[in-house]
Amino acid sequence: MTSVPPVPVLFVDHAAALGGAEKCLLLLFEHLDAASIVPHLATSAGLLADHARALGVRVHEVPLPRLRRQAGAPWRLVAGAAALTRIVRRERIALIASHSARADLYAALAARCTHCRLVWHVHELVRARLHRRVMCATCDAAVAVSAAVAAVLPRSDKVHVIRNGVRTADFAVLPKDRAAALRRRWGVPADATLVGQVARLQPWKGQRDVIAAAEVLLRDRPDLYVVIVGGDVFGDAVAYERALRADVSERGLDGRVVFAGHVTDIVAVLGALDVMVHASPAEPFGTILLEAAAAGVPIVAYDGGGVPELLADEVTALLVPAGDWHALSGGIVRLVDDRRLARALAARAQVTVQRWFDVRPWVRDVQALLLEVAARRGGQVG
């Protein structure tokens, strides 16, 4: 019986740093079946490239510079797509999979030039109508990380909703020593109640709402602290962080609202928290919510975007109207004051994540789609 050779797939992601889409991609690399898919990665030099190499992925460092509102954007696009085209032909790539918004147009043009199949992995609520139309017209299939993401895409016949997964076993036992060390670093007493948000610093992640809610929360609660975990991962939020810190100072919350910056040890962060708050009014998915649930941390979140697809109000979390920071504050108070409710919600959320959002079925479904699309071609690029 003749064995089928593994399919060479070129994943494309422009980011040098590690955002949510990049962490998702690395998790996919770690669990792909090597007998079925040979992953290649086209990306910029940086952390994503380094981590992918450590997982044994063949990395091709390709400049994929910003296009929007940039002089010479057409020439940049052509040069980047030409570099991808050379990789496709040299490595006999059967399928291109785009994983970031900037990478999309480069990948689409390269796919068109090589007649290679294209899968568009959509990690965000795509606002630009032209981007949606071009990508849906060009791709052979689109993977939407939530039904909320899928709802804005014009070609529903091409769209497959495959929600991300997490390695739930990583969060089964929380490291008390590392968590305690983080609290000490943040200046939070061991017996204090700690509410935390974990998100990179971007206006759409809702840090301003968390600070507004904190002013109400901390007014009569000397034993309560709030930590904002997240940094300027992509180097585009310097002014925003400065404004957030000024807002905290103006409200007189210095020392009670702590900016932790970017922390890589998410398991320890979750171990340090008593309540997780999620304040993005239009969250495409929210992997951190699954991680918090897997860790048994009670959650209060806005009900926008894909969040209701992961959590159910009064069942596995408290969901409040998106953009209503007063309701957000009220939800936090409920969980802080009613520990029995907090434990019940957290326990049900933990079971739900373990049952429906583990990494293995997620990788299985993504891999099956990649192989199915590649098989439509009936061969590799020469």
In a domain, 198, yes or no: yes
For 126, the domain range is: 7-165+359-377
More confidently predicted of 377 and 268:
268
In a domain, 13, yes or no: yes
Q: Are residues 320 and 231 in the same domain?
A: yes
- DSSP helix/strand/coil, 68: coil
Does residue 70 have a pLDDT over 90? no
Q: What is the pTM of this model?
A: 0.94
pLDDT in tens, 132-171: 999 999 999 999 999 999 999 998 899 999 999 999 999 9
Distance CA 96, CA 304 (A): 31
In a domain, 157, yes or no: yes
Q: Are residues 161 and 204 in the same domain?
A: no
In a domain, 272, yes or no: yes
Q: Are residues 120 and 200 in the same domain?
A: no
131: number of Cβ within 10 Å: 15
Mean pLDDT of 210-239: 93
Distance CA 119, CA 156 (A): 14
- Site of tokens 């079946």: 33
135 and 102 Cβ atoms separated by less than 8 Å: no
Q: What is the CATH number of the domain that holds 246?
A: 3.40.50.2000
Q: Are residues 135 and 53 in the same domain?
A: yes
What pLDDT is attached to residue 380?
46
Q: Are residues 33 and 70 in the same domain?
A: yes
What pLDDT is attached to residue 156?
87
In a domain, 79, yes or no: yes
Q: Are residues 70 and 174 in the same domain?
A: no
Does residue 328 have a pLDDT over 90? yes
Number of domains in the chain: 2
In a domain, 78, yes or no: yes
pLDDT in tens, 12-24: 999 888 888 999 9
Mean pLDDT of 290-297: 97
In a domain, 2, yes or no: no
Q: Are residues 284 and 337 in the same domain?
A: yes
In a domain, 349, yes or no: yes
Q: Are residues 307 and 172 in the same domain?
A: yes
